[in-house]
């Protein structure tokens, strides 16, 4: 049963701090009932709405069922809570831009749909830290100092477009906070070497190959041994492209397991193995 504030005379009340903690925890651990928790009391809305709307998934893909919210119709007083946003599938560039304009506090964004360079201007006014997208489409293939400056706060970058040469991504050297980099395609070894040589602050470099299996498969490990081997480089194999993108991004947004955590754990194990080997 849900009690409203009008019932408070006949039921003992919890301290507001504890009440808030309980409601916030319930909303995060049981998101299927998140809107029901808004009915507990009037002040619950101020506590819970930022959690409900901090992650918005807008995926328009006929015939496929994904968790999604109608980001297009979000009013301003709710869209200001959005920090994690994914736009994917069949969507006009105008619709994508309208959604981005509504969300001034974005920190983690995935753009897997038609997008125009105007999106970069919009994102430059947000505290963006993580970005996954087709960068050639986002920039129109034209990098200039102003565009680069708008991304200087990025720590995690994932390319969904093919990277064929170092020249096409040399602009990454202008991102002083970049620590994690991923490519959703096979990357030439020469590019790998250039990335590691020029991005001195990089901690994790992920190359995703889409084969049967999950994680760092034996095939990926063999490829690493026969190709370019560096403790920062992790080859991960994924079985389903769109499914991996969605599930992995949600994991990132909600503090769960994602490619970055998987890669960090692999690198941590490598360092431990090296330490054990050197100590033996």
Count the Cβ atoms, other than its own, within 10 Å of residue 43. 13
The percent of residues in the chain predicted with pLDDT above 90, rounded, is 22
Residues 206 and 230 sit within 8 Å (Cβ to Cβ) = no
Q: Where are the domains of the chain?
A: 1-49, 53-139, 155-280
pLDDT tens-place string over residues 203-235: 999 888 755 444 444 445 545 544 456 888 888
Strand pairing report for 156-159 and 233-237: unpaired
Give the whole-angstrom CA distance, residue 45 versus residue 228: 52
Q: Kindly report the pTM of this predicted structure.
A: 0.79
pLDDT mean over 246-272: 74
Give the pLDDT score at 208.
80
pLDDT class for 260, splitting at 50, 70, 90? Answer: confident
51 contacts: CB under 8 Å, gap ≥ 6: 24, 27, 28, 34
Closest CA to 179 of 204, 214, 145: 204
């Amino acid at each position: 049963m849900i009690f409203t504030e009008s019932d408070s005379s006949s039921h003992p009340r919890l301290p507001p701090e504890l009440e808030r903690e309980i409601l916030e925890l319930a909303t995060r651990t049981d998101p299927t009932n998140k809107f029901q928790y808004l009915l507990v009391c009037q002040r619950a809305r101020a506590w819970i709405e930022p959690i409900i709307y901090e992650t918005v998934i807008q995926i328009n893909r006929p015939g496929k069922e994904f968790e999604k919210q109608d980001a297009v119709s979000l009013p301003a007083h709710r869209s200001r809570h959005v920090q994690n946003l994914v736009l994917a599938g069949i969507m006009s560039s105008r619709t994508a831009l309208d959604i981005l304009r509504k969300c001034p506090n974005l920190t983690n964004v995935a753009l897997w749909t038609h997008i125009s360079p105007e999106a970069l201007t919009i994102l430059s006014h947000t505290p963006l830290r993580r970005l996954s997208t087709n960068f050639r489409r986002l920039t129109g293939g034209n990098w200039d100092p102003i565009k680069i400056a708008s991304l200087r706060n990025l720590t995690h970058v994932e390319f969904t477009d093919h990277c064929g040469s170092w020249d096409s991504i040399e602009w990454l050297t202008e991102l002083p906070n970049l620590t994690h980099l991923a490519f959703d395609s096979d990357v030439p070894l020469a590019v790998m070497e250039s990335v590691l040589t020029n991005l001195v602050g990089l901690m994790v470099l992920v190359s995703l190959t889409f084969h049967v299996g999950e994680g760092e498969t034996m095939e990926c490990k063999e490829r690493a041994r026969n190709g370019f081997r560096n403790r920062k480089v992790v080859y991960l194999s994924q079985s389903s492209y769109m499914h991996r993108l969605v599930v992995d991004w949600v994991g990132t947004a909600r503090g769960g397991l994602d490619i970055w955590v998987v890669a960090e754990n692999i690198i941590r194990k490598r360092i431990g193995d090296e330490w054990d080997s050197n100590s033996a």
